[in-house]
Structure 1
């Protein structure tokens, strides 16, 4: 079963209907199934009516309780993984207005206590200067000034000491020249400044450092409940605990290899100076 964007919405309804049909075929009531798999009857009801999207762990418990054959269980599990994934294409965001996306990001940042950003290609808006923001929106449609204003407003969350931000940037992300040299120097200086905030831990991965994995995609982990992955044409949102956990493992690998603190600030200062020269 493949991850096709137009299938994501249907998969939620398909999963609910399939789990209900499997229960009926097994001759069990919702109460009996709840007892067998250790999930409340009310949650079983919400899963079967599509009001709750079950994670893979819940689906596996239900399938085990229903004694579903292995081949069918794999099919249902694949469907559950798709149901816990959301595709958000950029064209839709442009039609809705890009500033609305900023409002959604602000809500995600407000709700989370621990936020982790892996940035292999570009500097994220939370760390960007207004000039860099404008440049990064060069291929977008809509009112860029309004979007930049919302991005600047979002940066206030970095000063919230009840939160913990970890940013890992590759050398390519930091040194990709979206701006003229002097402006890039200012942008990198800002990274150094923000890295000194109590809530911010900022690491860098210089080119040439050995790593067993390549920097495939930009991704953000909100607590341990949700991951967003960026592509050229949109973003994928993962909510299943297994997908979130896998991204956390990858992030931990990059975090272990990254340079933080004064050493990272020294590396960034050298890169800023190279632009000024």
Structure 2
């Protein structure tokens, strides 16, 4: 399925209108449809007015209840998948202020109990030193001091032992010189320190590890509810259970190739020594 950013914004309204039209064609009231789908009438109403976006299970129940023609089921299911995908351009973050994006990320991190991060290119702000964070924001317009502060505040979540974090980091990401050599050594030392926390699993994938599937993008999976994929120009947010499952499977493949514990810390020490 091609993801056109303009379509992503319109798809929710299209899906709501399509489901509403099909209900009416089936001669069903919202109350009767709700009973057939084992949903509340208020939920049906919010789906039809695009106040909430139904997941694929909800859509399948509704299509079955209205006896949708088979030729339309695939089309509407694709529309539902599109509606569960959001494109967030970096330009809009610049306009609103990057510190507000940090508040959104903090909200996701607060809600989730199990978080998985695949980092093929750079170290995430959760694991970064202040100097690394400041350097990574050099490309951003305006005053980034508030964003730096918010990123550092977010790091407190790492010490919440009710949460489980798994970070898969390639050698490329660890050794990419965002800051001068002495500061890079400190940054790598911080990874070593954080790897000792009981709720953090730090997995490293050294160069030369044979993995047939290339590391195309940074991505994060929040439990089994949401996945985000980052690019230079923005990020795509997936809420479709199939997209989330695919990212979880991809994460598992990389995880099986990663080195953890003492082996990972030995690698980090070697890489830090290269910058000293």
Bigger mean CA deviation after superposition, 72-81 or 164-173: 72-81
Residue of structure 1 in register with 2:134 after alignment: 134
Which stretch of the first structure deviates more once superposed, 24-33 or 146-155? 24-33
Q: Deviations over 1:9-43 (max 9, x none)?
A: 22111101100111111222333333434434332
How many residue pairs match? The answer is: 276
CA displacement at 1:2 relative to structure 2: 3.3
Pairing 1:56-205 to 2, within 5 Å after superposition: 56-205=56-205
Moved more, 36-45 or 70-79: 36-45
Distance (whole Å) between structure 2 residues aligned to residue 96 and residue 142 of structure 1: 12
Unaligned runs of 5+ in 2: none
Alpha-carbon distance in structure 2 between the residues aligned to 1:39 and 1:248: 29
Q: Tell me whether 119-128 or 32-41 shows the greater mean CA deviation.
A: 32-41
User: Residues 56 and 242 of structure 1 are in contact (CA less than 8 Å); yes or no, is this contact kept in structure 2?
Assistant: no
Post-superposition offset of 1:149:
1.3
Q: Partner of 1:242 in structure 2?
A: 242
Task: Tell me how large the CA RMSD over aligned residues is.
Answer: 1.5
- SS of the counterpart of 1:196? coil
Report SS of the residue matched to 2:201: strand
The C-alpha deviation readout for 1:204-233, integer Å capped at 9, x for no partner, is 011111223211110111121111110100
Does structure 1 residue 214 correspond to structure 2 residue 207?
no
Superposed structure 1 runs of 4+ greater than 6 Å apart: none
1:167 CA displacement: 0.4
Determine the C-alpha separation between the residues in 1 that align with 2:37 and 2:84. 20
1:98–1:142 CA contact under 8 A, matched in 2 = no
How far 1:252 sits from its partner (Å)? 1.3
Residue 123 of structure 1, CA deviation: 0.2
What does residue 18 of structure 2 align with? 18
Contact 1:169 1:205 in 2 (8 A): yes
Q: Which runs of 5+ in 1 are unaligned?
A: none
Q: Which residue of 2 aligns with 1:7?
A: 7
